[in-house]
Amino acid sequence: MNRATIRRLYRDAILQVFGCGDKDLDVHLTKAVKSDVHFSDRAPGQWSPESILEIYCESGIPNATDINDFSAEAREFGFDPSTAVSYNSDSWDRIDGIVNLMLEVTHPGLKVYHEPYNGAVINIQEY
């Protein structure tokens, strides 16, 4: 397994899911993706050195545990409040899906997934 490939795939997938596609508007996310996705055994925090990657969610990458509830605002402006809640874990599942789709082509049999370590660190593990 080439960890650099997995790191590149996660960087691309994070930008695809959390970015908007405009380079100027995504500049902070792009910087965070370049600086906060680490090989776990070389990561500054060493939270989980046995994992493949450590992703730090303190400088712009959304973490996997947040729930974004805008139902009060939706009611205030006359929108359906049931559609105004989003879970970052759903977005991270999409990221895993994108990465695994690419790995299916390049490295058949290899699958990875995200696992939140805490509110600021996500580990990438192999199935």
Confidence at 107, pLDDT banded by 50, 70, 90: very high
| 66, 88 contact by CB (below 8 A) | yes
The tokens for 20 are 């908007």
Q: What is the pLDDT of residues 51-99, one digit of tens each?
A: 999 999 999 999 999 999 999 999 999 999 999 999 999 999 999 999 9
Q: What percent of the chain has pLDDT over 90?
A: 97
What's the predicted TM-score (pTM) here?
0.91
Give the residue numbers spanning the domain of 31: 3-126
User: Domain count of the chain?
Assistant: 1
Mean pLDDT estimate for the chain: 95
Confidence grade of residue 2 (pLDDT, cut at 50, 70, 90): confident
Closest CA to 60 of 14, 95, 115: 14
